[in-house]
Chain A
Amino acid sequence: MPTFVYMTRCDGCGQCVDICPSDIMHIDKTLRRAYNIEPSMCWECYSCVKACPHHAIDVRGYADFAPLGHSVRVHRDEEAGTIAWRIKFRNGKKDMELLAPITTKPWGTGIPKLADEPAPSKEMRDSELLFNEPKYVRMDGGDLHTLESNGLTLKAGVYY
């Protein structure tokens, strides 16, 4: 379901151009507004739809299998930490609103800056541990699993 852009809503800000993973949202040089330059490489991922500050971008099901007259709209709000969807069927019989959280913390606040963490010891470097391990593996005092700790060996051949 390729995306398309409503002429009267787009102000050419380029947010969609900036986010599209497929590089298919471009600004038309004459009209100075965005459009989908290559619908056959659109994954209907909605990244541009969610990013548009004016809700100028919508999606119309792929012409090869989707009949006209449906709608799936979205409003993503990073501050509220939610995403809201509205799905309308072609025959008008179903009209659903669905809400989901997108984060449990104010945006970006829960992520550590590893440059500020104490440097790993030599012992840690020589071990198989990663950052925050072993603690975060099991959230208790348990160590990382090894073949030895789990009573295992690797043997070549057909063994099941």
Chain B
Amino acid sequence: MNYKTIIEDDIDILVAGAGLGGTGAAFEARYWGKNKKIVIAEKANIDRSGAVAQGLYAINCYMGTRFGENNPEDHVRYARMDLMGMVREDLAFDMARHVDSAVHQFEEWGLPLMRDPKKGTYMREGRWQIMIHGESYKPIVAEAAKKSADKVFNRVCVTHLLMDDSKDNRVAGAVGFNVRTGNYHVFKSKTVICGAGGASNIFKPRSVGEGAGRVWYAPWSSGSAYGLMIEAGAKMTQMENRIVLARFKDGYGPVGAYFLHLKTYTQNGVGEEYESKWFPALAEMVGKEYLDTEGQHLSHKPIPTCLRNHAFISEVNAGRGPIHMVTMEAFQDPHLEEIGWHNFLGMTVGQAVLWAATDVDPKYENPELTTSEPYVMGSHATGCGAWCSGPEDVSPPEYYWGYNRMTTVEGLFGAGDAVGGTPHAFSSGSFTEGRLAAKAACKYIDDGKAEGIRVSDKQIEDLKTKIYKPLETYTVYKNEVVAGSVNPNFINPRQGLDRLQKLMDEYCGGFGVNYMTNEKLLSIGLKKLKSLEEDMEKIAASDIHELLRAWELNHRVRTSESVFQHTLFRKETRWPGYYYRGDAMKLDDKNWHVLTVSHRDRKTGEYTMEKAPLYHLVSEK
């Protein structure tokens, strides 16, 4: 294994993973750090990497303050309501007050934003969403990042963060390998902005066999945001808050534009409205503050995503599935029909392919919906991620330690899925978080906080040995068996992934058990995960591509452990429809109106859990 070691030294800002968060960070960093060295490391190609690789047909987070539409606090209240109260409102407010400036720049850069011809405003899909022709959303923002960065290392998979050997709990860069050449890359950097992704594919997906890649979030979203940061000792928050999506069956095509713009609606298998009948019992579970069944019609408050899922799941379990999306009315209008199809082509081509393959013409047939397997991420209608500092002028003391979006590891910042407690950021909000992190990282350096960082050769060499071990394992043991993938000495990454997905599904509340778990199940699951972690020492990779999969799996396993620990800690059912704690089926504000925060000791692997206070925006009037 004679892979070269390539060292990139004297970096000021290293962006690890450049989806929307990472590109925002790289772009903005140049403004605040004119002479700073800005480097991007990305496991794919930043022109088409991250969750927005295939495009988007909407920007889901836009205030429209310039048109008098919303103020930032309106969005915070919406996100709080949708997440059953569990939001870092300082971070959410901060993101919302800046997000429009990102969107206005996107338009200037050439991203086609649709306009309302009468009002001159952006075409609204819903209160927060604006419609775009976003096939090239990612290549456009990547262009901006490339103009700012000194160097872009495409196809370098970052596997570990480097830690300072002279000062405890301070980041010093990152390492990884090139998935083409196999070479070992060392990035010595004063700060790292983690723009890596959330996690698909840790819970068993509904799709099987060849279709296993048909997941809602991109299959390359390997939980690396969490895998990297947890290994570095960063505190995490709300990792129990996985998300389940109600989407078009099999293709997971988005439903936002269908509900909000096309005004389609759902009904059960016998053509009835089904949601409202589940609400009285649900209101008993979660309390009137979270589901006001009588006042809802008057207040027009949207019903939290998880609670709508709950009604969906309950109706199917009652034997009145499938749930259909009623498209046949809206699709009679040729203009709306075209929008319905463009919506898929712009962001989930697979759904168009599926309908073409199964002759489902939504003009004449109402397509089926399903609830997905759970996902762990922090930018859609959920807020998993690192426990980060907020901005000085907004955050209360418990939420503030000097630098906006800095984790509890010094010099390590987050953006997008990496930042916890900030749901509903979506693409534009993630980009904005990257910008905020970049400004703060420059300030951190200018304040002299990154002086005297030392990285020992030993740390670099130890990580190199560790990274390539799966190749070594394969070489040593492959000839012990005649042929095939069954070997008593190792498992391959696919086999490991299958095992992870099965145990997450069965013990941590996947679709296979109707999203149900309890303390006993979680404890068994954690035990099984522990033995998988031991087997990860014996994972084998036959080539560099499999080595990539091996490290993605490592990040997924680390993410899963955190999900288990958090789910075990929160003894209540806060988000029915996302998951259920069978041994604590009620929402419990008395004990659990808090954010969960975890810390994994870097040396021992031991977890400690704590509760952090929840602050809410309150009007002074």
Contacts and interface: CB of A to CB of B under 8 A. Distances in A.
B513 interface: no
Contacts of A64: 207-211
B36 to A, nearest CB: 10
Contact of A156 (B47, B209, B613): B613
Contacts of B613: 156-157
Given A128-B391, A137-B98, A151 B619 contact: yes
B147 A89 contact: no
A76 B135 contact: yes
For chain B, give the interface size range: 35 or more
Interface stretch (B158-166, B352-360, B448-456, B462-470): B352-360
Nearest to A119: B34
Contacts of B144: 111
Contact of A114 (B147, B615, B619): B147
B417 interface: no
Contacts of A68: 357
Interface in B61-91: 65-66, 71-73, 80, 85, 89-90
B357 A63 contact: no
A104 interface: yes
Interface string A96-108: 1010111111011
B40 interface: no
A152 B618 contact: yes
Given A93-B359, A111-B147, A41 B133 contact: no
A23 B213 contact: no
Contact of A136 (B27, B100, B219): B100
A13 interface: no
Contacts of B34: 115, 119
B372 to A, nearest CB: 14
A90 B358 contact: yes
Interface in A56-101: 59, 61-72, 74, 76, 78, 83, 85, 87-91, 93-94, 96, 98, 100-101
A95 to B, nearest CB: 10
Given A61-B357, A154-B615, A22 B220 contact: yes
For chain A, give the interface size range: 35 or more
Contact of B44 (A23, A59, A136): A23
Contact of A59 (B133, B148, B353): B353
Contact of A105 (B32, B110, B289, B358): B110
Nearest to B211: A62
Which of A26, A40, A125 has the most CB atoms of chain B within a 10 A radius of its CB?
A40
A120 B112 CA distance: 29
A100 B342 contact: yes
A24 to B, nearest CB: 8
Interface in B233-288: 250
A109 to B, nearest CB: 8
Interface string A30-57: 0000000111111111110000000000
Contacts of B349: 44-46, 59, 72, 74
A123 interface: no
A41 to B, nearest CB: 5
Interface string A1-42: 110000000000000001111110010000000000111111
Interface string B584-621: 00000100010000000000000000000111111111
Given A45-B218, A64-B207, A98 B345 contact: yes
Contacts of B313: none
Contacts of A155: 615-616, 618
Contact of B54 (A43, A108, A159): A43
B109 A154 contact: no
Contacts of B208: 64
Interface string B337-375: 010011001100110111111110100000000000000
A153 B53 contact: no
B28 interface: yes
B499 interface: no
Contacts of A18: 45
A150 B71 contact: yes
Interface stretch (B183-191, B435-443, B480-488): B435-443
Contacts of A159: 616, 618
21 contacts: A1-B354, A19-B47, A45-B48, A45-B218, A61-B353, A65-B207, A66-B250, A78-B136, A89-B361, A98-B341, A102-B112, A102-B133, A114-B28, A130-B435, A133-B98, A138-B100, A151-B620, A151-B621, A152-B619, A158-B289, A160-B85
Interface of B: 27-28, 30-32, 34, 43-45, 47-50, 53-54, 65-66, 71-73, 80, 85, 89-90, 93-94, 97-98, 100-101, 104-105, 107-112, 133, 135-136, 140, 143-144, 147-148, 155, 179, 207-215, 218-220, 250, 289, 338, 341-342, 345-346, 349-350, 352-359, 361, 391-396, 435-436, 439, 443, 545, 548-549, 589, 593, 613-621
Interface of A: 1-2, 18-23, 26, 37-47, 59, 61-72, 74, 76, 78, 83, 85, 87-91, 93-94, 96, 98, 100-105, 107-115, 117, 119-120, 125, 128, 130-134, 136-140, 142, 144-147, 150-160
